[in-house]
Chains A and B, each alone.
Chain A
């Protein structure tokens, strides 16, 4: 069985400031975000839940890397591998670092409303994003067959992964709640016919924020 644990970053400072958090706009976690990541670290250290992790991946955005650095000591202290394939929906310089409200009139939001069009000028369409995320997670699952891997990433990535693994329609007829520092876990194993299938083991487990 291959375990893929997707962790959403803690609250970002760019979110607090109402700024689009691309490579320029993202300046890492807020104080609350760091506390959320610490709560996850303490939980993982206590339960040993991800003690068998063999690799930790992150996006290249500061809020994901910082989250991974905080939880890493509790899951084995791995060398972090960062890749832009795991970033949130890409934005170019027309959007990155700009206030959300500047653009809110021109948005088609959420991006699943029309998956084939950019939700704003300079944004990655949802369908391209789902393909990018699906390709990367599939690659990681193959490269780490039989292992447990942790991917510290973004709400969009976790939602896209649900679309990929459960083969859901791109125009998602539902909404998702994905808390900062929450864990969503998938497992890949053969079914009784020997065909590899994904199993959702938990979605948005943020119990460490409740207590």
Chain B
């Protein structure tokens, strides 16, 4: 029996209006891409059309947040697939911090929220929000589910920096509380994994060559 290899391509959304405003972009705070973000994703689409590197893609997902949906819609010009959305691919759920500026967060929920993650990453980011460990478990389960459902296919997911960081931490085996290295996933970049049974292979991280032509 030939090896069933599943290809998972994670695209970070283009720059979003909530990124520029330095606000938490949950369902309330996210209002889609900035002009710059649309330009970044358009460059990615042009690259994909030119190289054909995702021509075997059969499945397209986005989180339910507008910046990811809009990113998926733009690159879909080069893919031509049905767009599925899945809430489990969202960025960390900010709870009551949604639509709040980072500056306001730092003087309100921060002290009882993410300030304590170094000691206890199971504390929610804000009332009604998600913890770091809860987020990582949710994303890891979603990535496994999606690749189980589409085994052998090429899956493209328009998602978020936190989702891509989590793929690195979980799939490379850094899921404990202490994270020695950091990641800087750029807007509209490509991160790619393949999966053969439960063996994951990192193919590329943060390929944003289309932004630096």
Contacts and interface: CB of A to CB of B under 8 A. Distances in A.
B is a partner of A: yes
Interface of A: 43, 46-47, 49, 162, 165-169, 172-177, 191, 197-208, 210-211
B173 A175 contact: no
A208 B209 CA distance: 8
B8 to A, nearest CB: 13
B201 A175 contact: yes
B174 A166 contact: yes
A169 B172 CA distance: 9
A197 B204 contact: no
B90 interface: no
A203 B172 CA distance: 13
B120 interface: no
B205 interface: yes
B181 A211 contact: no
B107 interface: no
B212 A47 contact: yes
B184 interface: yes
B205 A203 contact: yes
A203 B202 contact: yes
A198 B205 contact: no
Interface in B65-105: none
B46 to A, nearest CB: 11
14 contacts: A162-B172, A166-B172, A166-B181, A167-B174, A177-B201, A177-B204, A198-B182, A200-B184, A200-B206, A207-B51, A207-B209, A210-B51, A211-B50, A211-B51
Contact of B172 (A168, A205, A208): A168
Q: Main secondary structure on chain B at its contact with chain A? A: mixed
B208 interface: yes
A175 B182 contact: no
Contacts of A176: 201-202
Contacts of B212: 47, 49
A173 B173 CA distance: 7
A23 to B, nearest CB: 30
B72 to A, nearest CB: 21
B205 A200 contact: yes
Interface string B151-174: 000000000000000001001111
A163 B181 CA distance: 10
Given A168-B172, A177-B203, A201 B184 contact: yes
Contacts of A202: 204-208
Contact of B184 (A47, A49, A199, A211): A199
Interface centre among B180, B200, B204 (most CB of A within 10 A): B204
Contacts of A197: 180-182
Given A177-B203, A201-B184, A205-B204, A169 B209 contact: no
Interface centre among A169, A206, A211 (most CB of B within 10 A): A211
A204 B53 contact: no
B205 A175 contact: no
A199 B168 CA distance: 12
B181 A200 contact: yes
A18 to B, nearest CB: 22
B116 to A, nearest CB: 15
Nearest to B202: A176
